[in-house]
Amino acid sequence: LYFSAQEGILFFYHIKDLQYEMKICADILQPISSLMFSPDYTILLLVTGQGTVYTYKPAHCGEAVKLLDARSSFFLAADFLSPGNKYCVSVTIAGEVQVWFLEDGTCISKLNLDIEVHI
């Protein structure tokens, strides 16, 4: 079970029977607003309330890596494009939908909806 706290800490709970073990996986120093696993569960996207998107690879137990940083408006949400886990799509508060290459954070495509977006 992965979850985040207000302080921007990503936690992992390993639960077996009536026993559990808690581990701190990453501390990104920004409140995390959403978590999304890739379709094959190898990458976790972390979207912050300040509009930054991080990737975290649970199998590697490393730090979260900043993928995208808000420039003109905050990222509201992000998700993986299926099938596979090479690309993600994001939407900003300003209504810009973007497709990103996860390996290096390159913007592949964008579309402006010309409306403000709310979740």
Q: What are phi and psi of 44, to 5 degrees?
A: -115, 125
pLDDT of residue 53: 87
> How far out from the chain centre does Cα 32 lie?
8
pLDDT of residue 8: 87
pLDDT tens for each residue of 93-117: 888 898 988 888 888 999 999 988 8
pLDDT of residue 99: 92
CA distance 56 to 63: 7
Give the start-to-end residue ranges of the domains of the chain: 32-112
CA distance 83 to 39: 7
pLDDT tens for each residue of 6-49: 788 898 888 888 888 888 888 888 888 888 899 888 899 888 87
Of 3.30.750.210, 3.50.50.60, 2.40.10.480, 3.40.630.30, the CATH number of 32-112 is 2.40.10.480
Q: pTM for the full model?
A: 0.76
